[in-house]
Amino acid sequence: MKKIIFITILVFCTSCSDDFVNIAPIGTLDNATYFDTEENADQAIIGLYDLMQHNYGLNWNSAYFVKMLPGDDVNAGGGSSTDQEQLQDIDGYVNVSIDNISIQSNWDLFYQTIALANIIINTVETGTLSNRELVLGEAKFIRAWCYFELATMWGDVPLRLESPSNISPDDFTLPKSPKAKIYEQVENDLKSAIAGLPDKMSVSQPFRVSKGAAKALLGKVLVFQEKYASAITELSSVIANPAHDLEDTPADVWTTATEFGKESLFELGYISTNGYDWGNFPWGGRVESNIHQQLMGPRGDGLFDVAGLGILNGWGFNLPTSKLVMAFDTAGDIDRKAATIATEAEIIAAGGSVNTPENIWGYEGAIRMKYVTRLSETVSDGGVSELNYSANWRLLRYAEVLLLAAEAYNKNGQDDLALIELNKVRNRAGLPNLSGISGNDLFEAIINEKFLELAHEGQRFWDLVRWGRAATELAGTGYTTKNNLFPIPMTEIQLNTALSVSDQNPGY
């Protein structure tokens, strides 16, 4: 963490995400004078979004993909059991290492983002800039987001709220804080953000967060802590706001036409217009396109012919499990299934084929259709299609808000209201209303609905952990309770002298 924060204090650049790709980069950062103008403070905030985009899109280390891998909706896929071995290890549970580069990348980049947020907050908070409240709202939202992800994936973590004034080992030393303390800070940041954020996203810069995004995230954080009555207050406020709604059909959620649309509360943008080719793609650096869309497309090499579905071949990671396929079929969930996965029978019916399926690593009879490799979402000229996909990550959706509200109402003894929110999601999926169920039966229905609605979005495993259901649902997979958390990277323990090997998460 010390190394990453050092980089962030001295320099950060902005370059990515749909509407801010042309903003000039920021060079060496002098806190004392840099934040003297509203424009510079705004540029620093853009840098925060850029760091978020980088963490969720960096080569094979995307936080979006890494969070998916332990779930029972996803198989790692790829070419073999050793293809991107660090991802295979997370998927398979047994060999997760304290040196896993994808886990370390996520940790480092969350803290790099937090470091920049701290600089912005601590400098702007005491100033008199006209855009002070907005800048603080966005910075505190992103800091809260990062700490919530850290607490979810690692549990107790160092809570750094100020940037060190000197570059020395002692100044970067910081012990772990209890998860409850992390949650307390997240709540405080989000409450402050809500006060400073606008009701609607900017039309010209729709990637920027609104009051609704902060309330939705706060509601989610409260549900994770089982503070259901408080969660209802926040989530019901989002639901009552006409600016937020479901897209008309499940398929509509995943088109480029609905990016930053009415269902999206927080979204990271990518573009297909940089014309990357095999010679200029910035491997390991800041990438404007969504390389994970290519990574997760159905594998070529003569294995999948998917042209009949209107999609291109990719590199074969992130395949659906047979458990997910069965869950859709059991629910009679036709429309949402089609927007999420395509079975082998459906590939063949569209004129395609699956060759030697027994040799396709992680294949259990279906491919993924969320964030699939659509020709319309990559370049037609000026670069190679594999390197220029543009799908945005939808990190927080209105559908999830409804399901979180349903859970909170159910746990708060308000099953009639829980059914209302649950049925909104079911109706959009083309399923009939549920009625006449309550208590645990209703909770089971909410769990199943989340499995179907949020499949391949990185939520499933972490829900199973907090519900105490991971051991049951993942029986026979290699999972043990140590996998409830990722290991703290060994580099952090080596560099942060306030930590020792005894501070490592259990079992690692």
Convert the pLDDT of each residue in 143-191 to its tens digit.
999 999 999 999 999 999 998 777 777 888 999 999 999 999 999 999 9
The pLDDT, as a whole number, for residue 168 is: 76
Asked if pLDDT for residue 4 goes beyond 70, the answer is no
* Domain end call among 314, 346, 370: 370
In whole angstroms, what is the distance from residue 44 CA to residue 156 CA?
A: 28
At 75, which amino acid appears? N
Residue 400 lies in a domain: no
Number of neighbouring beta carbons within 10 Å of residue 310: 12
Radius of gyration for the chain, computed over Cα atoms and rounded to the nearest angstrom: 22
Asked if pLDDT for residue 21 goes beyond 70, the answer is no
Residue 356 and residue 496 in one domain: no
pTM recorded for the entire structure? 0.93
Partners of 366 in the beta sheet? Answer: 343
Among the listed ranges 161-165, 277-281, 341-345, which one has the minimum average pLDDT value?
161-165
In whole angstroms, what is the distance from residue 403 CA to residue 453 CA?
A: 9
Asked if pLDDT for residue 27 goes beyond 90, the answer is no
Q: What is the mean pLDDT of residues 415-421?
A: 98
Residue 508 lies in a domain: no
In whole angstroms, what is the distance from residue 100 CA to residue 80 CA?
A: 18
Helix (H, G, I), strand (E, B) or coil at 319: strand
Residue 326 lies in a domain: yes
Asked if pLDDT for residue 476 goes beyond 50, the answer is yes
Asked if pLDDT for residue 304 goes beyond 80, the answer is yes
The pLDDT, as a whole number, for residue 20 is: 34
Asked if pLDDT for residue 382 goes beyond 90, the answer is no
Asked if pLDDT for residue 5 goes beyond 80, the answer is no
What are 504's two structure tokens? 């490592």
The pLDDT, as a whole number, for residue 3 is: 29
Residue 246 lies in a domain: no
* Domain end call among 351, 370, 389: 370
pLDDT category of residue 360 using cuts at 50, 70 and 90: very high
What is the residue range of 344's domain? 297-370
Residue 309 lies in a domain: yes
Average pLDDT value for the chain: 92
pLDDT digits (tens, 9 = 90+) for 97-130: 999 999 999 999 999 999 999 999 999 999 889 9
Among the listed ranges 17-21, 256-260, 463-467, 476-480, which one has the minimum average pLDDT value?
17-21
The pLDDT, as a whole number, for residue 167 is: 75
**Total domains in the fold of the chain:** 2
What are 326's two structure tokens? 């069965």
Residue 306 and residue 175 in one domain: no
Asked if pLDDT for residue 332 goes beyond 70, the answer is yes
Residue 135 and residue 6 in one domain: yes
Residue 198 lies in a domain: no
Residue 278 lies in a domain: no
Residue 127 lies in a domain: yes
- Contact status, residue 150 vs residue 488, Cβ threshold 8 Å: no
Contacts with 441 (C-beta within 8 Å, 6 or more apart), sequence order: none
Residue 177 and residue 304 in one domain: no
Asked if pLDDT for residue 93 goes beyond 50, the answer is yes
* Domain end call among 311, 342, 370: 370
The pLDDT, as a whole number, for residue 17 is: 38
The pLDDT, as a whole number, for residue 325 is: 98
Q: What is the mean pLDDT of residues 224-229?
A: 98
Q: Is the dihedral of CA 481, 484, 489, 492 positive or negative?
A: negative
Contacts with 180 (C-beta within 8 Å, 6 or more apart), sequence order: none
CATH code for the domain of 493: 1.25.40.390
DSSP 377-411: GS-SSSS-GGG---PPEEEEEHHHHHHHHHHHHHH
The pLDDT, as a whole number, for residue 30 is: 59
Angle at 26 between CA 21 and CA 30, to 5 degrees: 155
Q: Is 437 left (phi over 0), alpha (psi -120 to 50) or beta?
A: beta
In whole angstroms, what is the distance from residue 302 CA to residue 304 CA?
A: 6
pLDDT category of residue 22 using cuts at 50, 70 and 90: very low
